Amino acid sequence: MVIFSVAGKQLKLNTAADIAPIVADLRAQKAVAKIDFSGNTIGIEASKSLAEAIVAHKDSLVEINFSDFYTGRFNTEIPKSLEYLLPALLLCPKLATVNLSDNAFGLQTIDPIEAYLAKAVSVEHLILSNNGMGPYAGARIGKSLYRLAKAKEKQGYGSLQTFVCGRNRLENGSVNHLAVGLRSHRDLATVRLYQNGIRPAGVEKLILRGLARNAKLRVLDLQDNTLTSRAAAALAAALPQWKDLAELNLNDCLLKPKGAFAVAEALSAGASKNLAVLKLQYSELEADSLAKLAVAAEKALPHLKVLELNGNRFDKNLDDLAAIRKALEKRAGEIDELDDLDSDDEDDEDDEDDNDNDDTYDDYNASLTDLEADLVAEDVDALTEKLLGAHIE
């Protein structure tokens, strides 16, 4: 596999002249499979030159890394740069992995990204973390994922395999369209949505109306979103659907005692038997849940090797914890360092969030089937307008 990389060189590529030596080197390579420009910064004129060089390798290119590619750029520069680069990527029929992380896209750049994603039928692994999207741009990403799924079906491509979209402040406002987009990719195996500020009502709907339909899910990372017992119950109900699930990250998700118990009970009952990595730090998990996890570790989860439990509420000398350690050690596995445990005998009678069931957001009750129908209608209207415009010309 031929890799062309200038990663991490902190090059400031403004003009065609700035990037000319790099482009010449890229063009001189034979059948480049991966291009990595991460850790540099590119301007509009240089983007045009790079786009032309990318097209020279369109028949061999399988991976692009443009993460951390716009440091110090104005928000007016980035969309114009992408208007050169993204259409070039659409000309690469084997391009499977695209990494656009750590770029300050936000709302100003959503138009070219949304247009690209809806047509990127060859892409299987999409990484969009730390892009400053916010809920509105996140919803538009969800729309583009739905359109991408339909385009893939129409053109005979497999669905998206990996979707990584962490640290983007997606919040509850993006959830409806995100659920529609993700559930449309039936073979989706990895979903990472860490640190997005999604609240219980949003996580609940994302799981029950979205991810529960992704039966081939292998990795689910929801770290540092808020579940409480409400969304944790939804997750517990969905676990039996994910028979191939190997990694579940719920660190810093505040499951609350009842929510942690619901998840632990589902796992002890045999849900997701292929689970190898389970992360439950800082979830307010207590001794009753630990007892269920002991059953899971010993019997129901024969492949479990990594279990993270620090920051919860139980005594580290419990027999159930010893049983879990013993079960994992037999498989060369381990529990994390338990150096920040609280007692579970403090004020836990009414510890659940009093407003848990009152948590909601605008359009929480919206039908996702209706949203899908609206997207189809929008596409039909756009096509009609395009055809009428062509006829008038």
pLDDT over threshold 60, residue 392:
no
pLDDT in tens, 213-232: 999 999 999 999 999 999 99
- Read off the tokens for 204: 């609940």
Average pLDDT (37-45) is: 99
pLDDT in tens, 303-331: 999 999 999 999 999 999 999 999 999 99
Reduce the secondary structure of the chain to three states and give it as a string.
Answer: CEEEECCCCCCEECCHHHHHHHHHHHHHCCCEEEEECCCCEECHHHHHHHHHHHHCCCCCCCEEECCCCECCCCCCHHHHHHHHHHHHHHCCCCCCEEECCCCCCCHHHHHHHHHHHCCCCCCCEEECCCCCCHHHHHHHHHHHHHHHHHHHHHHCCCCCCEEECCCCCCCHHHHHHHHHHHHCCCCCCEEECCCCCCCHHHHHHHHHCCHHHCCCCCEEECCCCCCHHHHHHHHHHHHHHCCCCCEEECCCCCCHHHHHHHHHHHHHCCCCCCCCEEECCCCCCEHHHHHHHHHHHHHHCCCCCEEECCCCECCCCCHHHHHHHHHHHHCCCEECCCCCCECCCCCCCCCCCCCHHHCCCCCCCCCHHHHHHHHHHHHHHHHHHHHHHHHHC
Please say whether the beta carbons of 293 and 324 come within 8 A.
Answer: yes
Domain boundaries, the chain: 1-96, 97-348+355-392
- Read off the tokens for 122: 């060859």
What is the reported pLDDT for 354?
A: 47
pLDDT over threshold 60, residue 390:
no
What is the overall mean pLDDT for the chain?
94
- CA within 13 Å, CB half, 46: 22
For residues 384 and 213, what is the distance between their CA atoms, to the nearest angstrom? 32
pLDDT band for position 359 (cuts 50, 70, 90): confident
| Region of poorest pLDDT, from 21-25, 97-101, 386-390 | 386-390
**What does the angle CA 274 – CA 279 – CA 280 come to, to the nearest 5 degrees?**
125
Q: What is the percent of the chain where pLDDT is above 90?
A: 89
This prediction's pTM? 0.95
For residues 361 and 365, what is the distance between their CA atoms, to the nearest angstrom? 9
> Among all chains, which residue has been given the structure tokens 């037999």?
330
pLDDT band for position 349 (cuts 50, 70, 90): very low
Going from the C-alpha of 33 to that of each of 26, 59, 232, 319, the distances in angstroms are 11, 9, 42, 53
Q: What is the CATH number of domain 97-348+355-392?
A: 3.80.10.10
pLDDT over threshold 90, residue 43:
yes
> Among all chains, which residue has been given the structure tokens 């910064």?
41
For residues 393 and 389, what is the distance between their CA atoms, to the nearest angstrom? 6
